[in-house]
């Protein structure tokens, strides 16, 4: 368990430099992090760089998991946590 598990952080100036390093450190310690910067394009680029699939999730990504869980094919699953994060562990 990280030092910031279950906490949220808002980091401004997080598209590069110290702000980005702070945001990454908060995530590594378990925080949910919202990043902001005056350069919106850089913020998006910094956020996408943290996602192994290289893109933001879409509603259809979550819908696919819901469809998987709905039929009897998943009836024997119990107590599972499915992360729909594009490979980024939050």
pLDDT digit string, tens, across residues 33-88: 888 888 888 888 887 887 888 887 888 888 888 888 888 878 888 878 887 777 76
What is the C-alpha separation between 9 and 77, in angstroms, rounded? 33
User: Quick check: 51 and 87 in contact, CB under 8 A?
Assistant: yes
pTM above 0.75, yes or no: no
Tokens (6 digits) for 83:
């992360």
* Residue of 67, 59, 1 whose CA lies nearest to 30: 1
For the chain, the domains span 8-74
Predicted pLDDT at 89:
62
């Amino acid at each position: 368990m990280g030092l910031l598990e279950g906490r949220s952080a808002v980091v401004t100036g997080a598209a590069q430099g110290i702000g980005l390093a702070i945001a990454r450190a908060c995530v590594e310690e378990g925080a949910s992090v919202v990043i902001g910067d005056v350069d919106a394009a850089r913020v998006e680029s910094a956020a996408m760089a943290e996602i192994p699939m290289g893109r933001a999730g879409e509603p259809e990504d979550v819908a696919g998991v819901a469809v998987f869980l709905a039929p009897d094919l998943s009836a024997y699953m119990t107590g599972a946590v499915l992360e729909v994060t594009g490979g980024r562990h939050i």
